[in-house]
Amino acid sequence: DAGITQSPRYKITETGRQVTLMCHQTWSHSYMFWYRQDLGHGLRLIYYSAAADITDKGEVPDGYVVSRSKTENFPLTLESATRSQTSVYFCASALDRRNTIYFGEGSWLTVV
Amino acid sequence: GENVEQHPSTLSVQEGDSAVIKCTYSDSASNYFPWYKQELGKGPQLIIDIRSNVGEKKDQRIAVTLNKTAKHFSLHITETQPEDSAVYFCAASRDNQGGKLIFGQGTELSVKP
C-alpha cells in the first residue's frame, strides 16, 4: 500500500528557477492538498483540489501553481522560486470532504 | 479568517505523567477537530479526532475534549512514554469548506525516561 508518494524528497534550487514538486496517491481519494510547514507557522494550506480539474486557493497561494489532470496526481509548481519559499512541503489526500486527511512524508525545498 | 491558537509551544514531562495540550479556534462554524502527531523528518499522522456533536472521545491513553461554547479543545495523553515524544498539532475545519484544515502552531512534547 504505497499511499501518498512525494518527489523529490529533497531539493536545492536557485532563486528564479521553476520547480515542480510531485504528489501521487494510490487510494483514489477525491481530495488532495498542498501544505507548507515553517517554524512558528505550523502548516498552512497552499492549494487544494476536490476532484480532477477542480482546484482552489488556500491560505498562502501566491507564487504557486497547481494542476490536477488525473485523480491520483497533484503537482505543485513554483514558477519563479524565491528564498521565502524555502520550506517543507506536504501533500495530503482525503476520500471526501468529511474524511481523515492523510499526509505524505514531505519535500524539503531550499531556495538559494 | 479562521485562526487556531495552540499552547504550550513546548512541554516536558516525566515518563508516566500526563500531558495536556490546549487549542482555541475562532470560527464558530468549525465542526471537525483532528490532532496530528509528527515525528522528526516525517509527515503528520492523525492520532485522534472529534466532531462537534461529541464532547469527548477516548482511544486508549489518548483523549480529546471539546467545549463548543468556549471554542476550545484539548488533547490529553495519560501514562506518557518516551515514544510519545514528538510535535503535536491541533487543527479545525468545517465540512462545507472541503475539509480544509487550519492548524495550530504545534507543541513539542518531550517525555523524559
pLDDT single digits (tens) B73-101 = 999 999 999 999 999 999 999 876 767 89
pLDDT single digits (tens) B97-113 = 767 899 999 999 999 99
B36–A103 C-beta distance less than 8 A: yes
| Closest-CA residue of chain B to A33 | B100
| Closest-CA residue of chain B to A6 | B43
Cβ of A102 under 8 Å from any chain B Cβ? yes
Q: What is the pLDDT of residue B66?
A: 95
Mean per-residue pLDDT of chain B? 93
In sequence order, the 6+-apart residues with CB closer than 8 A to the CB of B74 are B20, B21, B22, B23, B64, B65
From CA A19, how far away is CA A69, in angstroms rounded? 18
Q: What is the pLDDT of residue B90?
A: 97
A48–B100 C-beta distance less than 8 A: yes
Residue (of B108, B111, B104) closest to B3 by Cα position: B104
Q: What is the pLDDT of residue A2?
A: 61
Q: What is the pLDDT of residue A79?
A: 95
Q: What is the pLDDT of residue B95?
A: 74
pLDDT single digits (tens) A1-38 = 569 999 999 999 999 999 999 999 999 999 999 999 99
* Confidence check: pLDDT of A107 > 60: yes
pLDDT single digits (tens) B5-30 = 999 999 999 999 999 999 999 999 99
Residue (of A42, A34, A99) closest to A63 by Cα position: A34
